[in-house]
Amino acid sequence: MPRQITAFSNPLVKRIRGLREKRHRKEERMFLAEGLRILTEAREAGRLPRYVFFAAESAHHRLVQELVDAVEKAGGEAIETDRDILHKLSGKDNPQAVVGVYDEFATGLDAVDRDRAGIWLVAQSLRDPGNLGTILRTGDAVGAGGLILIDDCVDPFSVEAVRASMGALFTQQIAHARWPDFLAWLRAGPGQLVGMSLDTDVDYQAPHYAAPTFILVGNEAQGLPDDYAAQCDLLVKMPMLGKADSLNAAVATAVMAYEVLNQRRRSQG
């Protein structure tokens, strides 16, 4: 049976509100996700929150009831509250009717099974949470296995990144590694590392991509470091016919991922 919380001073509200800050997420090993659509997609992917906060006026919504039942059955806690508390938790002026608190996922390379997907996305020193979330959505769309974050990237469990992923955070495996560790892991098994770079004459549609293909995008401002690019099996670029010299990192990743996917579709057709 859900309990009710309507006081800003409630210790749990203060604790959960702290998850908007990275240091508190690291201490608690938990993160926030907002919105019935995202929480429902997480449930369908087998992920349930430890806590689910929902607005009283949404209590009779079928999907909210299903979510609450599933959370309580799994040993979590459902909490009925009001919009002011939800605003306090999410930081949004117009908060969603449902907020979930999830345990962070394990992000070690040892948990990655490269053979379960033909496409993997890899991002080096990514800084923008919107880009990270969009890349996760692209991964979900093309059936990628997940996203491997290299070096110091933006936190994938930040409120902004989770929001931008639109639920893909729960369908895509996420791993994090330093470059030398990733390279050693990659070379210990099958996998073609394809980097996107302006310093090549190879058009991205020209090569044949071998599975599993690891698509590597660099930092939004600097691109791939030269020594990282030198370790790639292929460097490719996309034609730029206007005045811009490059695409946004998330857009470039999407274009590249769909090229690899379409090659596979044509070969199977």
CA distance to 159, 204, 235, 241, per residue, from 209 (Å): 35, 10, 12, 24
What mean pLDDT is predicted for residues 237-263? Answer: 90
What mean pLDDT is predicted for residues 136-165? Answer: 96
Report residue 125 as tokens. 């020193």
Report residue 128 as tokens. 């923008």
| pLDDT single digits (tens) 160-177 | 999 999 999 999 999 999
Q: Which of 50, 76, 103 is the last residue of a domain?
A: 103
In this predicted structure, what is the pLDDT of residue 44?
Answer: 94
Q: Which of 103, 138, 169 is the last residue of a domain?
A: 103
Q: Mean pLDDT check: name the lowest of 88-92, 194-198, 206-210.
A: 88-92
* Number of folded domains that form the chain: 2
Cis, peptide link before residue 212, omega less than 30° from 0: yes
Strand order of the β-sheet with 192-196 is: 173-177, 146-150, 119-124, 213-217, 192-196, 234-236
The CATH number given to whatever domain includes residue 116 is 3.40.1280.10
Q: Quick one: which of 241, 243, 193, 240 has its CA closest to 218?
A: 193
> Where do runs of H (alpha helix) occur along 143-177?
159-165
| pLDDT single digits (tens) 72-106 | 999 999 999 988 888 888 877 666 789 999 999 87
Q: What percent of the chain has pLDDT over 90?
A: 79
| pLDDT, averaged across the chain | 93
Whole-angstrom Cα distance, residue 31 to residue 23?
Answer: 11
Domain that holds residue 92: 3-103
Mark whether 140 and 17 lie in a shared domain. no
What mean pLDDT is predicted for residues 34-41? Answer: 93
In this predicted structure, what is the pLDDT of residue 269?
Answer: 62
In this predicted structure, what is the pLDDT of residue 210?
Answer: 95
What mean pLDDT is predicted for residues 224-229? Answer: 95
Q: Is 91 left (phi over 0), alpha (psi -120 to 50) or beta?
A: left
Report residue 258 as tokens. 């769909």
How would you class 255 by CB atoms within 10 Å of its CB: exposed for 0-12, middle for 13-18, buried for 19 or more? Answer: middle
Predicted structure pTM score:
0.91
Mark whether 91 and 215 lie in a shared domain. no
Mark whether 96 and 220 lie in a shared domain. no
CA distance to 122, 153, 156, 162, 214, per residue, from 113 (Å): 15, 22, 20, 23, 13
In this predicted structure, what is the pLDDT of residue 88?
Answer: 84
Mark whether 133 and 77 lie in a shared domain. no
In this predicted structure, what is the pLDDT of residue 95?
Answer: 65
